[in-house]
Amino acid sequence: MRVAIAGAGLAGLSCAKYLTDAGHTPIVLESRDVLGGLVAAWKDSDGDWYETGLHAFFGAYPNMLQLLKELGIEDRLQWKEHTLIFNQPDKPGTLSRFDVPDIPSPFNVIASILRNKDMLTWEQKIRFAVGLLPAVVRGQKYVEDMDKYSFLEWLKRQGVDERVTSDVFIAACKALTFINPDEVSATILLTALNRFLQERYGSKIAFLDGSPTERLCSPIVDYITERGGEVRLNAPLKEILLNADGTVKGYLIRGLNGAEDEVLTADVYVSAMSVDPLKVMLPKPWKLMEFFKKLEGLEGVPVINLHLWFDRKLTEIDHLLFSRSPLLSVYADMSNTCREYANPNRSMLELVLAPAKDWIAKSDEEIVAATLAELEKLFPDHFGGDNPATLLKSHVVKTPRSVYKATPGREQYRPAQVTPIANFYLAGSYTMQRYLGSMEGAVLSGKLTAQAISEALPVANSSNLQTLTRPPATNAATA
Ligand SMILES: Cc1cc2nc3c(=O)[nH]c(=O)nc-3n(C[C@H](O)[C@H](O)[C@H](O)COP(=O)(O)OP(=O)(O)OC[C@H]3O[C@@H](n4cnc5c(N)ncnc54)[C@H](O)[C@@H]3O)c2cc1C
């Protein structure tokens, strides 16, 4: 069966991969000239890569790890020491570590918290552990119910000290969602904490050994095309064309550089676009339907990714770092962490600037200057003195609308992959799956979409879609 998929981010590619496995023929249409959506990367004229985002993979990403295994490329993940490393703003240039010992969960994470002496007092640790108990004991239902509170509100209700927020959770919220604890839904942090507490290697971090476009997305495309599928770049979906009964008749693809528009027809259609372009693209009759109206409750959050190349080595640390800076979120010296970007003599810092709403409209020069000022606190030895490190070049990648903004109350707006339209499905990390707006969430959503299509229309008897009936779509997490 032919399945047309709009969007070659991880959700669209994962959906196509699993459809191929089920014997279907996916045709993926990507509007841009690059694969990967939010993991897209480009090579500059010097041959250096720069990326949409600094991407960390976690041990608690079962679907991503499974996908890499199925593609035979799991060795491309470079696993780092099992630890979380934070900068200490009040002691510039120093770091505080949560080293996770190799013992069963949740004792490994608990031991890492108890052993950290810099960031939390004993009283704070005990209060936080007691506050977290309901999430551990009462499970996922409790975690989902907490979507009505911001994480800051939740911490206060649990009687947890404000200092825990400023010391640990501002950094964690910014890293996971690009917003601060007073804005982010408690469900997000509790979900991540639960995963880390339940899985022995859940909080272990890996970096890809090169650019995500080349090292992750290209092998998925090869897999799809070797099995008869297709992935077309520069093929923007312009309009979803409807039959009289409201089902999809075809995808109208915008012709670029003076070419004619083209209609692509298929048996089934998938949107793997992010939620913002999908909302714009919805056909008028669908906009009146409750299922699609709810998408109005979701929108992408702005974020900025910076790359700074220096004339010297600033650090030997081969890991993700939580900056705990008001301007920045996480960062890494990619000349240490990523094999393809390795350089023994010069650092390339990749840094995430978040929250970015006040910065997204500023010039690259302003953004780089403000970031360099922050680096004086992170690397005082290299920036404060007489012989400061020299910035050789920089790239700034702005994403005005990235993953859905995970503020309180958003969970109810996240749609199921199955829609009320018989031949139309959704994939994307914003759709309902339990891994939130992440690479794991994108891969899982694509897999769920492929499963739903295969269940509705097994290849052996790919019957006429017009006869398909479907129960009303639910909003319940399906995995
Ligand atoms: C700065 C940053 C850092 C991040 N860090 C991490 C991290 O450390 N760990 C982690 O797990 N996740 C991280 N993420 C999140 C992760 O990248 C996303 O959740 C995931 O990649 C989203 O995939 P997706 O396929 O759902 O959506 P997208 O990647 O947004 O894909 C949608 C695709 O649809 C295409 N499209 C749009 N309109 C059209 C059209 N009209 N026609 C055809 N195609 C169209 C887009 O070009 C895009 O390729 C980060 C994201 C950013 C921006």
Q: Does domain 303-399 have CATH number 3.40.50.300?
A: no
Q: How many CA atoms lie within 13 A of 123 on its CB side?
A: 4
Which span out of 112-116, 229-233, 462-466 was modeled with the highest average pLDDT?
Answer: 229-233
| DSSP strand pairing (237-242 vs 248-253) | antiparallel
Q: Which atom of ligand 1 is nearest to the CA of 237?
A: 42
Q: Is the CB of 29 under 6 A from ligand 1?
A: yes
Q: Is the CB of 9 under 6 A from ligand 1?
A: yes
- Where in the chain are the domains? 2-39+211-299+405-478, 104-198, 303-399
Q: Give CA separation, 446 vs 77, 285, 327, 341, 443, in Å.
A: 21, 26, 33, 29, 5
Structure confidence at residue 393 (pLDDT): 98
**Ligand 1 near 236 CB (within 6 A):** yes
Tokens of 168: 């640990």
Ligand 1 center to residue 227 CA distance, Å? Answer: 25
Of the candidates 155, 86, 158, the residue with the CA atom closest to the CA atom of residue 119: 86
The percent of residues in the chain predicted with pLDDT above 90, rounded, is 78
Range of weakest confidence among 52-66, 105-119, 245-259: 105-119
Ligand 1 centroid – CA 275 distance (Å): 10
- Of the listed ranges 60-74, 85-99, 105-119, 250-264, the one predicted with least confidence: 105-119
Does the CB atom of residue 38 touch ligand 1 within 6 A?
yes
Nearest CA to ligand 1 atom 20: 439
What pLDDT shows up at residue 264?
98
Atom of ligand 1 nearest to the CA of 238: 41
Determine the pLDDT at residue 298.
Answer: 98
CATH architecture of 2-39+211-299+405-478: 3-Layer(bba) Sandwich (3.50)
How confident is the model over 228-239, as pLDDT tens digits?
A: 999 999 999 999
Model confidence pLDDT, tens digit, residues 355-413: 999 999 999 999 999 999 999 989 999 987 788 999 999 999 999 999 999 999 999 99
What is the pTM assigned to this prediction? Answer: 0.94
- The percentage of the chain sitting over the pLDDT mark of 70, rounded to a whole number, equals 95
- Return mean pLDDT, the chain: 92
When pLDDT is cut at 50, 70 and 90, the band that residue 460 belongs to is low
Task: Give the burial class of 95: count Cβ atoms within 10 A of its Cβ; 0-12 exposed, 13-18 middle, 19 or more buried.
Answer: middle
